[in-house]
Amino acid sequence: MTLAQASDPARDTASISAVASVVDLRVHFESKAGRVHAVDGVDFDIRDGETLGLVGETGCGKSVTARSFLRLVPMPPGIQAGGSVLFRPHHRCSNCAGEGCLECDGSGRLPIECPDCGGTGCPSCGDTGMQTIDLSTLPEKELRRIRGNRIAMIFQDPAKALNPALTVRDQIAEVFYQHRTEEVLERAGTAGGADLLLHRHVNQRSRWPERALLSLPPLRGRRNRVEEVVDEMVAAALAETQIPNPTKVMDRYPHELSGGMKQRVMIAQALACNPDLLIADEPTTALDVTVQARIIELIKDLQGRHQSAVLYISHDLSLVRRVCDRVAVMYAGRIVEIGVTEEIFANPLHPYTRGLLAAIPGRGHGRGQLVAIKGTVPELIDPPPSCRFVERCSFAVDVCASLDPEIEFGSGNHGVACFIHNPPEGAAEVPSFSRRTS
């Protein structure tokens, strides 16, 4: 294995087309027992159109990482202790109006040029020439324009994520009202923002006197026309997720739908604005296997059509293997291994990844012969500078307990943070897979 530095040229070219980059992200939580380092120095890129899997056990920080994209981590008790999440938004392809053409590779989206340098590359955009937004410092008001529009999220439990007091139609319509105001007005034939009342209504900012005016004859017809347009858009979004009879489902409340149907509604809501990045936080954990299979196929199919990048978070390795192009394995707030899916599964480099793969009951294991990883996930309160996996690792030596391995990239962009592959300079003893120490 050849060693490469963090400035690996292959990695740099890859980051050019990255739709989002997480740079040394640190999210900590203040607790009575001390500071919990939930996410502690996470680095990765999500390339345009790819599916990146983020796997790890409960409490390894994968959900916190995902929520940091949209700043959904409550602060306090959360603390952004460092790092940033960079996002490079796209706008609708002007050539084809979002239909998909050669120029935009069928995705209907084109990257926005950096306003500072006009696409030639400058320090503010990291020499990519694309508009780069730092999501961790963006004002709340501007972040709201990105949430649900350019970056959308699917949550684990659709029963909790949908508002029980709103019909399916109202929940999805909100996305269009908030992010597609102009388009709604245009389709309803009242474009140009000439009609302030209607504009405010579509933007969900109207107050009761305005609503009263809108319900009276001169304006009522136009308001109804707007509602019809939104109904059509909602029905189209629902039909996209293969929901039978969308017009009927629209009038239902979430409790009237089955789990799989609720998850479809969430997916429809997330994809309504054709986002650049979709964050799926364990989208099938709450579902049955037969339903899970359909949701997975659906996400894959929709991703293929929309060319959105997907950050797929899961603890199920067999699922990740099917869905993702690349996989990042997280352990105790760090990424321990990242690489192309086949590489990770065929040639896992980190002892933790190896342990995880061996622990899945597959048909290759005899009964009672699962290779369990001993011990439990360590508490992340003020962790010492050592490999986080040292207490559970069967190959650990002294150096693992005193030094913290950095992630280093080898051939084929396969990165691993382990001294077995990247021995520290001047260490007396180097760990190796050929020698078990405990």
Partner 1 sequence: MTATLEGSGVAGAELRGDFAISVQNLAKHFPIREGALQKVAGHVRAVDGVSFDIRRGETVGLVGESGCGKTTLGRCVSGLTDPTSGGVYFDLTTAERDRLGEIFDVPENGRNAEMVVELEEIDRLHRIDRIKKQEWLRYRRNCQVVFQDAFASLNPRHLVREIVGRPLKVHKEASGDQLTERVVELLERVGLGRQHLFRYPHQFSGGQRQRISIARALALDPELMVLDEPTSALDVSVQAQILNLLNELQQELGLTYLFITHDLSVVRHMADRVVVMYLGKVAESGATSDIFEDARHPYSHALLRASPDVDDDPAAALMTLEGSVPDPARPPQGCRFHTRCPVATARCGWEVDDVVRWLEDEPGMFDALSDVTRVDAFTADLVFADESAAAKLEAALRSGKMPEAARQALVEVRRDGARTHIAFTPVSEVKLTRRGPGHEAACVLDLTLDRV
Chain residues binding partner 1 by CB under 8 A are: 57-58, 244-245, 247-248, 258-261, 288-294, 296-297, 315-319, 321-322, 341, 345, 355-365, 367-374, 376-377
How far is residue 89's CA from residue 132's CA, in Å, rounded to a whole number? 7
Strand partners, 314: 55
How far is residue 25's CA from residue 39's CA, in Å, rounded to a whole number? 7
**Does residue 36 contact residue 438 with C-beta atoms inside 8 Å?**
no
**CB 81 → partner 1: shortest distance, Å?**
25
Nearer to partner 1 among residue 213 and residue 358 (C-beta)? 358
**CB 373 → partner 1: shortest distance, Å?**
4
Torsion from C-alpha of 157, 159, 161, 164, nearest 10 degrees: -170
Nearer to partner 1 among residue 187 and residue 294 (C-beta)? 294
Q: Is the dihedral of CA 62, 68, 71, 75 positive or negative?
A: positive
**CB 263 → partner 1: shortest distance, Å?**
12
**CB 344 → partner 1: shortest distance, Å?**
12
Nearer to partner 1 among residue 308 and residue 314 (C-beta)? 314
Q: Which candidate, 309, 271, 267, 300, places its Cα nearest to that of 111? A: 309
**CB 80 → partner 1: shortest distance, Å?**
27
Who's near 376: CB < 8 A, 6+ residues apart?
Answer: 392
**Does residue 264 contact residue 295 with C-beta atoms inside 8 Å?**
yes
Nearer to partner 1 among residue 4 and residue 293 (C-beta)? 293
How far is residue 117's CA from residue 382's CA, in Å, rounded to a whole number? 42
Give CA separation, 151 vs 89, 113, 276, 339, in Å: 9, 18, 6, 23
**Does residue 118 contact residue 316 with C-beta atoms inside 8 Å?**
no
**Does residue 259 contact residue 270 with C-beta atoms inside 8 Å?**
no
**CB 357 → partner 1: shortest distance, Å?**
7
**CB 281 → partner 1: shortest distance, Å?**
16
**CB 61 → partner 1: shortest distance, Å?**
14
How far is residue 213's CA from residue 162's CA, in Å, rounded to a whole number? 31
